[in-house]
Amino acid sequence: MTKVWLITGAGRGMGLDFAKAVLAAGDKLVATGRNPERVAKAIGQSENLLVVTLDVTKPTDAASAVKAALERFGRIDILVNNAANFYSGYFEELTPAQVDLQLASSLLGPMSVTRAVLPVMRRQGSGKIISISSTASLLGFEFCSAYSAAKFALDGWMESLQPEVAPFGIETMIVNPGFFRTELLTDESTQYAPSSVSDYDERRAQHLAFWKSADGQQSGDPAKLAQALITLVNQPELPRRFIAGADAVGMVEQKIALLQQQIDAYRDLSSSLAFDVKTQA
């Protein structure tokens, strides 16, 4: 059965690879972005394609995109919450406005789009919601506090959403990619905190050099991740989480080991915190 996908941030980076893979698979696609002309030019022409304006930080855009999708294709089977940006820097130097923008794009935006899509999927009695998260949602990284905050919250929201919508035949999946060669680290997608605290100068310079040098050198191939999504969507059941990339698997395994160490280190103390049982005469 031909599926109808709605992908946010489909005009560049990982979203563009997702869009191309969907069309190559013969499915129908609602490709969205803040600049629809750019999205259309990047993807190319297809009778199975609808390009719609969608800034995920604007709930009215989400409602309009869903309406346009239904008018063209009659249903929405798969939502991919992909659009995001990256505000990098030490927490003390990140401005409140930058933190708000990070949360708006990477947490509140996916929530807004999902809120607009859920009534459609409930009426259908089926649907899949995929949110592109990060390994930064499972491990906190220095210089990534705002980004990790948004992604940790995204994962928590998605995990909680699944049991809420499962009775309606709706499935969810969190994707935690490692380092993929996308446009996330370009000047268009990454904003850095202003340099305002001299105590961070040396480490800040090292991190800035690392992130700038990493752009275009990441090991992960987003086209292969796109094909992996097609494979997973066609499974009898969507996995609740997909750790994407060998580097991501390694980092998550380290986190699991660290959590076990933290449990074991204070197991007796942790287990001694219940109310004492009173003996009765």
Instruction: Tell me the domains of the chain and their CATH numbers.
Output: 4-270 (3.40.50.720)
Rounded to 5 degrees, φ, ψ at 209 are -65, -40
Active site residue 128: no
Could you tell me the maximum CA-CA distance found in the chain, to the nearest angstrom? Answer: 83
Give the pLDDT score at 209: 83
d(CA 197, CA 234): 50
Angle of CA points 95, 96, 100, to nearest 5°: 120
d(CA 89, CA 142): 8
Q: Residue 201: its pLDDT value, please?
A: 92
Q: With pLDDT > 90 as the criterion, what percentage of the chain qualifies? A: 79
The mean pLDDT value for 51-73 works out to 97
pLDDT one-digit tens code per residue, 127-148: 999 999 999 999 999 999 999 9
Catalytic position from the list 133, 134, 137, 148: 133
Mean pLDDT of 51-59: 96
Mean pLDDT of 253-269: 97
The C-alpha atoms of residue 232 and residue 132 are separated, in whole angstroms, by 14
| pLDDT for the residue numbered 130 | 98
The yes-or-no verdict on residue 215 having pLDDT over 80 is no
Active site residue 151: yes
DSSP classification of residue 132:
E
Query: What's the pTM?
Result: 0.92
SS3 of residue 24 by DSSP: helix
Q: How confident is the model at residue 216 (pLDDT cuts 50, 70, 90)?
A: low
Length of the chain: 281
The two structure tokens encoding residue 230: 């097609």
Could you confirm whether 133 is annotated as catalytic?
yes
Q: What is the pLDDT of residue 280?
A: 65
Q: What is the CA radius of gyration of the chain?
A: 21
Residue 38 has pLDDT above 90, yes or no: yes
**190 CB burial (10 A radius; 0-12, 13-18, 19+):** middle
One of 87, 90, 147, 192 is an active-site residue; which one? 147
What's residue 195's pLDDT? 80
